[in-house]
Amino acid sequence: MKQYLSIIILICTINLLKAQTRTVELLKDWKFSNYDYGAAFQEDFNDSKWDNVTVPHDWAAKGDFDFANDVQLTMVIQDGESKPRLRMGRSGALPYTGIGWYRTNYSVSSKNLEQKTQLLFDGAMSNAKVYVNGQYAGERPFGYISFHFDITKFLKAGDNTIAVRLENFNRQSRWYPGAGLYRKVSVIKTNKTHVKTWGTFVTTPSVSKKKAIVNLNLELVGSGDFIIKNEIFNLEGKIVATKKSAVVIKNNKTVKEEFEISKPNLWSLENPNLYTLKTTVLEGSTMIDTYETTFGIRTIRFEVDGFYLNDKKTRFQGVNMHHDLGPTGAAFHRELFVRQMKKMKAMGVNAIRFSHNPPAPEALDVCDELGLLAIDEAFDEWQIGKVINGYSIHFDEWAKTDLTDMIVRDRNHPSVIMWSIGNEIMEQYKLDPNNITDYLNKIVKSLDTTRATTAGFNSANNALKSGMAYTVDVAGFNYKPGIYGAIRKKHPNLKFYASETGGTVSVRNSYKFPVVFDTLHNKRGASLNTFVFPDGHPGNYESTQVPWGYPAVKEFASQEKNTSVYGEFVWTGYDYLGEPSPYHEAKSRSSYFAPVDFVGLEKDKYYLYQTQWKKDEEVLHFFPHWTWPDLNVKSFPVVCYTSYEKAELFVNGKSYGVQTKKPLSTLDFENTNINVEASGGGSWNLTKAYAIVWDDVVYEPGEVKVVAYNKKGKQVAEMTRVTAGEPHHITIEPEIKTINEGEVGVYVISVVDNNGNLCPHYNENMKIDVQGSASFLASGNGDPTNLQNLSKPERKFFNGQAVIFVQSNKKGNVDITTTSGNFKKTNHTLTVK
């Protein structure tokens, strides 16, 4: 009887193990130390005095700014330099170099030891070495790539120790790379037979309004006889297609299936419809694994005359995005990336180029959900480096693996339309002697032929001469509006787009007078006399730039004339940590290029892009502000970005006349010589083609108003600014009033006068206190020269405003109090649900 009972228990145990399907558990709670303990990988190492941290975690973002952290004496060929220059703040001036150790405990039951266990990192910065119970499990040097290890053989029943050693080197990046386990870490438990991680590839080779053919390539790991059931669900959760088949697996197997979906809901920019493929592995009637794949049904085509989405020609209204999220650093918070993308969509953006490395996988999920096209980019360096310890030192050994993992991880995202194999690679200048362009291009094509390959070339002449621009499917050219016509004439069959555009610099609500454009150029076409303001605060008239940069209006004019250019990607959507060009000497630690500043507040040119990219919406915005107690000039230009036909300016009731935009008859910046690659600087003529300008407006305290009229002369909108009085009180506005537990909340803090008008010269310090259902996380103010620690609860206002980020930790209300001088304000309106 005991023998039969033992057999029954054994059978039940085996069936129970088989019935345990895939589980994914986030490893959030870790111990952390910056000290390089040689024995920290060991199972019994005492980490009791280490810091308790929550992953995602960027340890460098919590440090103090110090320009000794990233002083670089370097020559930047992209900037047209012929000798090295001293650069400070190039990688953000934060202490990202050095060692970081992470340790956590993971409990495993004895029955789970029969399962397969994988450890998945969405990204770890950088040179990761992973240990389980003191045993080496694997490593990955590239900080931006996702990677996973099978750790089954290292596990034991009970508590298990996972340790990760990370090391960032000085001069390993041109911008702020982040530091630590800055993206999610997951444990994936499966049966021995399971769907391989990243093992599904869904394609839609045939799409019409009536039906879509959906193909599945499915990789299975394990051995035995199984039933594979695949079900496709629409956005409402209804099954729209299903297939079931018997398979015999020996170690691993690839299964192919074809589905037909009637009247498919296409994924588009306006309606980003998504489907979910659910794959179930059954042994008899026992379910042993499930795996879900989100995908979209859509068609993409790359023709000489343009890019087509679902057979509709679609111009790229794109921006480049670095991976940091402002004052919170590189730690990926999904809700903060959603915040960024919603603001970009509101500006008219329809495409994101992830510059210049693979993003967090959740970032592509957001693009899928919001309806944004994406360029997934692999590398900023190949064999020839831009910085001493950059990716070039790993390229030969790791490039194939890293590129492969990026593609197999991301190739089910409908948002991804192109794979970029590189950005401004130095091999351009030597005409790609080792033919790396072809090498990488072939790797991509071996994994995915449904999308185009691309690269961002800053030397169009060299990329064309060497054939690199033809080796990829679609060439990207950085900062070349003056030669689009020349490129098309000489290369009539070339497919290309503007992978980086812009390059003017500004900070929010700052204006410098008089307004002077640099119209002098060198032989390359770069600006010669770009002015750098000693305080590190350029104005918002789009009149100052890096030597190779130019205002948005120049790109608009060139793209309107050269309609076969696929569109543009602005450098950048948001200001980011590092690369404060041209303000290295001003000791700045973040960039100046974007229409949205470092903390997520709009600059004036945000509205310029709206007028061009959201033509169906009503836009009326003018600048500068109207509070000038210490003005050094008698008059200045007033610029209006608007979608309306004409507008009239009033100062204290006095009209400065009705003005309209003044379209260009010719583009005087165009060049027929492809060798003149740069097109630096702007002009008033260019500005007035896309904005309404009143040239010499005499400043008088009081009220300034712009009234907009339609074609028939009827007043349709108005905007008013007034001279602010003395600072009177603080306002606190949460951007979103309800967030989920564990998410980050964002507040905009302003100092206003008695009537609620922003005080644009208020720059005093503020103390911050957060209580209730959240804790203080970070703050910033949009000033690239502000060196206060991002994670300490105080912040100077910059031009009257600052932004605070709080980390929610339980349900309830968040109580935030800000104090500046005699002003104190408390807000209770943010709720954590």
Query: Which residues participate in catalysis according to the annotation?
Result: 424, 500
In whole angstroms, what is the distance from residue 58 CA to residue 55 CA?
A: 8
User: Longest C-alpha distance within the chain, in Å?
Assistant: 105
Among candidate residues 313, 315, 321, 355, the one with its CA nearest the CA of residue 337: 321
Q: Cα torsion at 318, 337, 370, 188 (round to 10°)?
A: 120
Reported as type and span, the H/E element at residue 621 is strand 620-623
In whole angstroms, what is the distance from residue 191 CA to residue 17 CA?
A: 8
Reported as type and span, the H/E element at residue 624 is none
Q: Is 98 exposed, middle or buried (0-12, 13-18, 19+ CB in 10 A)?
A: middle
| Structural contact between residues 291 and 199, judged by C-beta atoms closer than 8 angstroms | yes
Contacts made by residues 530-537, CB under 8 angstroms, sequence distance 24+: 530/582, 530/680, 530/681, 532/582, 532/583, 532/585, 532/586, 533/586, 534/586, 535/586, 535/785, 536/580, 536/583, 536/586, 536/587, 536/588, 536/784, 536/785, 537/507, 537/510, 537/512, 537/783, 537/785
Cα–Cα distances (Å) from 613 to 500, 572, 606, in that order, read 17, 16, 11
In whole angstroms, what is the distance from residue 483 CA to residue 561 CA?
A: 12
Question: CB atoms < 10 A from the CB of 225, how many?
Answer: 10
Alpha helices by DSSP H, listed for 639-776, are 684-690
In whole angstroms, what is the distance from residue 156 CA to residue 161 CA?
A: 10
| 442 Cβ contact list (under 8 Å, min separation 6) | none
| Structural contact between residues 191 and 20, judged by C-beta atoms closer than 8 angstroms | yes
Q: Is 34 exposed, middle or buried (0-12, 13-18, 19+ CB in 10 A)?
A: middle
Question: CB atoms < 10 A from the CB of 311, how many?
Answer: 10
In whole angstroms, what is the distance from residue 276 CA to residue 315 CA?
A: 28
3-state percent breakdown (helix, strand, coil) of the chain, nearest 5: 15, 40, 45
Q: Note the Cα 77 to chain centre separation in Å.
A: 25
Tell how strand 72-74 and strand 51-54 pair up.
Answer: unpaired
Q: Is 714 exposed, middle or buried (0-12, 13-18, 19+ CB in 10 A)?
A: exposed
Q: Note the Cα 218 to chain centre separation in Å.
A: 30
| Structural contact between residues 806 and 777, judged by C-beta atoms closer than 8 angstroms | yes
Secondary structure E strands in 348-480: 351-354, 373-377, 416-423, 452-457, 474-478
Q: What angle do CA 203, 209, 212 make, to 5 degrees?
A: 25
| Structural contact between residues 257 and 230, judged by C-beta atoms closer than 8 angstroms | yes
The half-sphere exposure of 204 on its side-chain side, counting CA atoms within 13 A, is 23
In DSSP terms, 642 is beta-bridged to 620
Secondary structure E strands in 300-395: 300-303, 306-309, 312-313, 316-321, 351-354, 373-377
In whole angstroms, what is the distance from residue 373 CA to residue 352 CA?
A: 6
Q: Is 410 helix (H, G, I), strand (E, B) or coil?
A: helix
In whole angstroms, what is the distance from residue 80 CA to residue 549 CA?
A: 12
Sheet holding 715-722, edge to edge: 654-660, 646-651, 703-709, 715-722
Cα–Cα distances (Å) from 664 to 219, 394, 557, 784, 824, in that order, read 57, 49, 8, 35, 51
